[in-house]
Amino acid sequence: MGFLIKFINFTDTLNDWVGKFFGFLVYPTMLVLVYEVVMRYGFNRPTIWAHETSCMLYGAHFVLGGAYALRWGAFVNVEAFYVLFSPRARAVIDLFTWTLFYAFVGTLLWFSLPWAWESLRMMEYSNSTWGPYVWQLKLTIPAAAFLVLLQGMTKTIKDLHLALTGRELVPAAEASAEN
């Protein structure tokens, strides 16, 4: 049991750090977009790099924030009936529905790893006029999928423990006190 709690704490801490770190990508994205608007409409001098840069920054921000969002329950749920169940019943339901999660994340990892590796191997770049490298952005997809997989595993472990024992493995008060 101690190993599981260490795994959960490690994964939660890792995804908190990654989520908070890459969450700051919103600021350079915003600066690039503001710069482009000022140059385009204020000076009639649009850039060839701002749109692509903002898309790459936002893409990394978005995918690498997924595990953080999963950790804190920030995804949208349809809870019309779900909230009526006890925590233990919700854990049992979650254990069945998480099979779809694992199928999705497994497929994402399976296909994104060779795709990202090939991009890195050939030092892929964009075919745009500016032509920046894109391999580093493509590497964020399997990295993010792996982090989401780890976070999903912690949720499954917690749900399994709650379904079997009726008690939370890591009480919510204890988990929020860590941060």
Q: Bridge partners of 58?
A: none
HSE (side-chain half, CA atoms, 13 Å) at 135: 11
89 membership: H or E segment, kind and range: helix 87-121
The reported pLDDT for the residue numbered 95 is: 93
* Alpha carbons 154 and 173: distance in angstroms, whole number: 17
Confidence of residue 173 (pLDDT cuts 50, 70, 90): very low
Residue extents of the structural domains in the chain? 2-177
Mean pLDDT of 17-44: 96
How many CB atoms neighbour CB 68 within 10 A?
23
pLDDT tens digits, residue range 55-76? 999 999 999 999 999 999 887 7
Amino acid at 50: A
Q: What is the pLDDT of residue 159?
A: 94
